[in-house]
Amino acid sequence: MTDHSLIVSLVLGILEGLTEFIPVSSTGHLLLAGHFLGFHSAGKTFEVVIQFGSILALLVLYAGKLWQVFSTAHKDPESRRFILSVTIAFLPAVFIGVLAHDFIKKVLFETPMLIAIMLILGGIVLVVVDKLPLKPRIHDATKFPLGMSLAVGFAQTLAMVPGVSRSGATIVASLFMGADKRSAAEFSFFLSLPTMLGAFVYDLYKNRDVLDASAINEIIIGFIAAFIAAVIVVRWVLGYVSRHGYALFGWWRIVIGGLALAGLLMQ
């Protein structure tokens, strides 16, 4: 591993951790940053696998809540219902992700212009939605109705287009269906656990033949950086969106997408 690849892996890991759980599209940021930094991973495995660092960060921070839910599921109907709710929301990504995996990785992930445009469009959506006079009726992420959870799950599949943002799609869908800003973000966190873990395992399996020692070293560095950055962001984001909403992230997307689009047009 060269010093350059070490630094790039570190930068991309930090970027992954900072952006995974906010509605700005971590995949879009990683792919655009990799494009402009000249970084390439076989099968785009690096970009997916380092997400495990973010998954681990969320598992650590929510270990108490997850233990409480699963340890009481045998006797508490509310715990069982929450597990079912997240499972239902996860299922659309399983079916569509497996069916469209090769197209997503070989076509959509290789189209920087599409990513930049999706960042801008998603930013506009966030800014507009943040200003709408929505009246929340659900204030607890563990109490989403099952039909609502399924709808959020289908919204999540839109994020298979890089630049859309998994958290952005699920948060916007939750807000429209009556969740408040905090519970929308928190349900997105919980849903991300099976979704990201599933993507990690499946992508590792699909690309097992193209991994080599150097790629593994890069992944380890990116993983550690992503873990640390994600811990910081998750601790901060719920309080922020409860007080200030999502407009900041919308403008962030518009600025980054606009700069990326300008850079691509000048190449």
Q: Can you spell out the DSSP letters for 51-66?
A: HHHHHHHHHHHTHHHH
pLDDT over 70 (residue 109): no
List CB contacts of 239: < 8 A, sequence separation 6 or more. Answer: none
Centre a 10 Å sphere on the Cβ of residue 243 and count the other Cβ atoms it contains: 9
pLDDT tens-digit series, residues 210-247: 666 566 778 888 889 999 999 999 989 989 998 999 99
Query: What is the model's pLDDT at position 106?
Result: 62
Rounded Cα distance, 126 and 193, in Å: 23
Mean pLDDT of 95-123: 79
Return the residue matching tokens 């984001």.
237
Rounded Cα distance, 41 and 46, in Å: 6
Domain that includes residue 129, residue range: 3-266
| pLDDT, greater one: 105 or 14 | 14
pLDDT over 60 (residue 30): yes
Rounded Cα distance, 41 and 88, in Å: 32
pLDDT over 80 (residue 267): no
Mean pLDDT of 10-38: 88
- Dihedral angle, C-alpha 216, 217, 221, 222, nearest 10 °: -30
Supply the pTM of this predicted model.
0.87
Instruction: Find out whether 21 and 192 touch, Cβ atoms under 8 Å.
Output: yes
pLDDT over 70 (residue 10): yes
pLDDT tens-digit series, residues 34-59: 888 887 765 566 777 788 889 899 99
Long-range own/partner contacts, residues 255-261 (CB < 8 A, 24 or more apart): 255/123, 256/24, 256/29, 256/32, 256/119, 257/116, 257/117, 257/118, 257/119, 257/120, 257/123, 257/163, 258/116, 258/120, 260/32, 260/36, 260/112, 260/115, 260/116, 260/119, 261/113, 261/116, 261/117, 261/120
Instruction: Find out whether 18 and 256 touch, Cβ atoms under 8 Å.
Output: no
pLDDT over 80 (residue 78): yes
Indicate the pLDDT class of residue 31, thresholds 50, 70 and 90: confident
pLDDT tens-digit series, residues 141-198: 999 999 999 999 999 999 888 888 899 999 999 999 999 999 999 999 999 999 888 8
Indicate the pLDDT class of residue 24, thresholds 50, 70 and 90: very high
Query: What is the model's pLDDT at position 145?
Result: 95
Rounded Cα distance, 266 and 232, in Å: 35
CA 199 to chain CA mean position, Å: 11
How many domains does the chain contain in total?
A: 1
